Amino acid sequence: MTTTENPIQANVGRTRLRKEDARLVTGRTNFTDDIRLPGMVHMVVVRSPMAHAKVTNVDLTGALDMPGVVAAFSGADLADDAGGLPCAWPVTEDMVAPEHKALAIDEVAYVGDGVAVVLASTAAEAVDAAERVVVDYDPLPAVVDMKAAIADGADLAQSTLDTNVSYRWPLANGDIDAAFDGADVVVEREFVQQRLIPSAMEPRAVVAAPMGVSDELTVWSATQVPHFVRVFLAAVIGIDEQNLRVIAPDVGGGFGSKLDIYAEEILALVLAQKLGRPVKWTETRSEGFQATIHGRDQVQKISLAMDADGRFRGLKVDLLADMGAYMQLLTPGIPILGAFMYSGIYKMDAYDFSCRGVFTNKTPTDAYRGAGRPEATFAIERIVDEAAHELGVDPMELRKRNWIQHDEFPYEMIGTLTFDSGNYEAATARAIEMFDYDGRRAEQANRRDSGGTKQLGIGISTFTEMCGLAPSRVLGNLRYVAGGWEYAQVRMLFSGKVEVITGTSPHGQGHDTAWSQIAADALGVPFEDIIVRHGDTAVSHRGLDTYGSRSLVVGGAALAAACGKVVEKARRVAAHLLEADEDDVEFSDGAFRVVGSPETSMTMQEVSTATFVAHDLPDGMEPSLDSDASVDPDNFSYPHGTHLALVEVDTETGQVELLDYVSVDDVGNVVNPQIVEGQVHGGLAQGIAQALYEGAVYDQAGNLQTGSFVDYYVPGAPDFPTFRTDRTVTPATTNDLGVKGVGEAGTIASTPAIINGVIDAVRHLGVNEVLMPASPRNVWTAIQQAAASGSADSDDAQAAAAVQADDAGPDAAAADNAGQAQHAAGDTGTSTGGDA
């Protein structure tokens, strides 16, 4: 590891096996579906099989006659009880959005939209009865494609609106006209971010029960955001906030899909109130495909203006973002998070961004691992490769000419953020060394010369992102309704053992372990003496939960601050008991010592016990060491890294095989290297999955054709090589721990690395774009199309590709591709030069 600072302490900076894993992997814990309460009834949601239709009648009588059925309701039945689903990010003042009731009443707007619920004594009875609900639909035109949706006279995805465009959100900095007018070369592309299905291991589930004290209601939910759920459920249903307790027990993954307030949470709570009985709902995997939020689904038009020497002048981005049928919690804001990231790690003079949010009759989109930043990173890293090809320079060299130098930090970048720290040179140098970049280029050239059907490509991604959501002031300026602070509390027990309370809500990340490491070092107590509690609003009453790689950056910093307060209180007690001046008492290795007489000391545990019994405390001191802290950062954090992929493309079949993957990430200081490495591995798998495997497909009627894992390909361990990962360490300067966040880095970086590699492998065949996922069909089609357009004198596409490979040297291929790039730019009239 290349290290500029190495803060390894007794615990922090070292691998500790995860405390939580024994219970998670053996199942000896409660997930929400494990919760069973006396008198509990099971809820099933009847869903629309139509993408868009008027609901003309809902007949529940057949269901009500079935064995075990307790009740059944239509949307109209609950119109006055169940409020609408909240959207917490109305990105513009004039954003339009349809009402989003927990059950549709008059109109369904996507396949999976709920129209009725059935409650029965057992889940099986509820499923049987739900089949007897008869719903009459009057079909309406389905709006599936975003470009069609924004055309004049387009059918409406929501008949209560007069447009499919929800909002237009701009961001501009610098003189964009000057940047493009004076450019020698302009490269323009349109990239498609396909729709993705988050596929967390644990399906969603909720149990709502009228239990606890007086009027209290308790909700267990498989959620990333119990504190959000409490605030919003109380608000939309009209429950006094103090009477609602929300518990996220152990949760099996989310990737953003559980960063939401869902209809089923509202319904379970409303019906538990109505029936006076606990109500449980557990998602089937089929429902998860349809009725849990999807990710991505954007069309990105991007153009990059350069000088002849490759210096970047300006960047334009025109984005269409598919909202789906409704706004969920953060739906409109996801592309906005990306808006700040399109310039990547590069310097330029001007930037112009505009995004339109578009309604379609598909499942709503929302945050999915990376949330806006993967899309932006893909676009910039892809177009930099295309620019390098057009200029005839190595893609790594073009990056080096334009990236922010390590001695230029803090750097106010064109996207209006201030990058506090980074060292792109160091991470890249390490990655190149590990990957043997020059050796691989030589290997690639040899394969080219051999003319075989297995061609090599090298994919590059030099990325950064923004983590640690985030400064509340900035979020307020972006019209986000919540803040970005985080909370921690330290409770010192009689015996000197410790309870740590965190407002973050882990669902697989390992907070129990990492938070224990931080507290152990800060308080000088053993790692094993600490328990970390989270995810229950009655225990952790303040918090803003876990998403956006924020937990350690913000929540860890809050824990460090709370521990600091404990130490200061304990120092005062120790000084009093040691009969020394407070300024003369040092704290290290868990003991308070008097300067100059180190044998005069007390351990933290002794101080804790003395404080608890409170027989002899300083005058006026409260008998408690317990402390808490709320921390609100003044900037985001900015992880970065360099990822290199070696891919092999079978030019006869379009099959892509990933042969090697090297990642060097700089996530700042590290609390637990093994947890970080695990996050990188999982993130890489998820980002590579977007590049090669996953993609939600709808037919023209709005039916989800990839409605199960048979058709939606989530890769597994056999589909990947062993990732080779390393880190550089450039600490963040915006939090006391110097950490940057690692939950999304691998996902953000890897997608463009893979696609750049695929195109690099077949660029000599005339290919400069491949649709994601780069399935055999998509890659083979791209090769065929390139062959057909590049060699009109042959009607045998495969032979044409081979001929081109044999006869066209690198220069000829480059000229051919430059022509295509020029052609693409010329189509839109924005090209000002190129090498034409």
Partner 1 sequence: MIPASFDYVRAGSAEEAVAALVEHGDEAKVLAGGHSLIPMMRLRLAVPEVLVDITEAGLAGITDAGDHLVIGAATTHHDVATDKVIETHCGVLAHVAATIGDPQVRHRGTIGGGLAHGDSAGDLPAVLLALEGTMVVQGPGGRRTVPASEFFVDYLETAVAADELLVEVHVPKLDDSWGWDYQKFTRVAQAWATVGALALVSSNGTISDARVGLTHMGSVPIRASATEAALAGQSTDAIADAAARAADDTDPPSDLNADADFRRHLATVLSRRALEAAVG
| Cα angle value 817/821/824 (rounded, 5°) | 135
286 binds partner 1 (CB under 8 A): yes
Question: Closer to partner 1 at the Cβ: 443 or 719?
Answer: 719
439 binds partner 1 (CB under 8 A): no
Q: Decide the pairing of beta strands 350-359 and 312-324.
A: parallel
257 binds partner 1 (CB under 8 A): no
145 binds partner 1 (CB under 8 A): no
Q: Segment near partner 1 (CB under 8 A), from 55-63, 80-88, 284-292, 379-387?
A: 284-292
Position among 652, 736, 769, 835 found at the interface with partner 1 (CB under 8 A)? 652
Q: Segment near partner 1 (CB under 8 A), from 54-62, 108-116, 583-591, 648-656?
A: 648-656
Q: Segment near partner 1 (CB under 8 A), from 87-95, 560-568, 587-595, 705-713?
A: 705-713
How many CB atoms within 10 Å of residue 134?
A: 14
Question: Closer to partner 1 at the Cβ: 37 or 127?
Answer: 127
Amino acid at 537: T
36 binds partner 1 (CB under 8 A): no
Question: Closer to partner 1 at the Cβ: 44 or 664?
Answer: 44
Least spacing, CB of residue 657 vs partner 1, in Å: 12
Q: What is the DSSP letter of 154?
A: P
Site string for partner 1, 774-803 (x = CB under 8 A): -xxx--xx----------------------
Question: Closer to partner 1 at the Cβ: 79 or 803?
Answer: 803
Q: Return all residues near 281 (Cβ < 8 A) that are at least 6 apart.
A: 42, 43, 44, 45, 205, 206, 207, 264, 267, 268
128 binds partner 1 (CB under 8 A): yes
Direct distance between the N- and C-terminal alpha carbons of the chain, in angstroms, rounded to an integer: 46
Select from 608, 619, 493, 466 the least CA-distant residue to 549. Answer: 466
Question: Closer to partner 1 at the Cβ: 585 or 649?
Answer: 649
Least spacing, CB of residue 778 vs partner 1, in Å: 10
2 binds partner 1 (CB under 8 A): no
Position among 8, 124, 201, 613 found at the interface with partner 1 (CB under 8 A)? 124
Question: Closer to partner 1 at the Cβ: 359 or 693?
Answer: 693
102 binds partner 1 (CB under 8 A): no
697 binds partner 1 (CB under 8 A): yes
Position among 5, 215, 657, 711 found at the interface with partner 1 (CB under 8 A)? 711
Question: Closer to partner 1 at the Cβ: 126 or 644?
Answer: 126
693 binds partner 1 (CB under 8 A): yes
Question: Closer to partner 1 at the Cβ: 446 or 705?
Answer: 705
| 649, β-bridge pairs | 455, 656
On the 0-12 / 13-18 / 19+ scale of CB atoms within 10 A, 190 is middle
Alpha-carbon distances, residue 566 vs 524, 602, 629 (angstroms): 11, 15, 11
| Cα angle value 371/750/683 (rounded, 5°) | 65
Residue 118: CA count within 13 A, CB half-sphere: 30
Q: Decide the pairing of beta strands 585-588 and 591-594.
A: antiparallel
Question: Closer to partner 1 at the Cβ: 336 or 758?
Answer: 758
Q: Which two tokens stand for residue 445?
A: 């050239």
Alpha-carbon distances, residue 459 vs 646, 683, 761, 762 (angstroms): 6, 17, 9, 12
Question: Closer to partner 1 at the Cβ: 168 or 285?
Answer: 285
Question: Closer to partner 1 at the Cβ: 239 or 291?
Answer: 291
Least spacing, CB of residue 783 vs partner 1, in Å: 11
Q: How far is CA 217 from the centre of its chain?
A: 31
481 binds partner 1 (CB under 8 A): no
Do residues 362 and 294 lie in contact, with contact meaning Cβ atoms separated by under 8 Å? yes
Least spacing, CB of residue 773 vs partner 1, in Å: 9
713 binds partner 1 (CB under 8 A): yes
473 binds partner 1 (CB under 8 A): no
Site string for partner 1, 715-754 (x = CB under 8 A): xx-xx-----------------------------------
706 binds partner 1 (CB under 8 A): yes
| 220, β-bridge pairs | 207, 247
Question: Closer to partner 1 at the Cβ: 607 or 800?
Answer: 800
Question: Closer to partner 1 at the Cβ: 192 or 621?
Answer: 192
DSSP secondary structure string for all residues of 80-138: TTS-BPP-S---STT------BSS-SSEE-STT-EEEEEEESSHHHHHHHHTT-EEEEE
Select from 649, 690, 175 the least CA-distant residue to 461. Answer: 690
On the 0-12 / 13-18 / 19+ scale of CB atoms within 10 A, 418 is middle
Least spacing, CB of residue 652 vs partner 1, in Å: 5
Which residues contribute to the site for partner 1 (CB under 8 A)? 123-124, 127-128, 131, 284-286, 652-653, 655, 693, 697, 705-706, 710-711, 713-716, 718-719, 775-777, 780-781
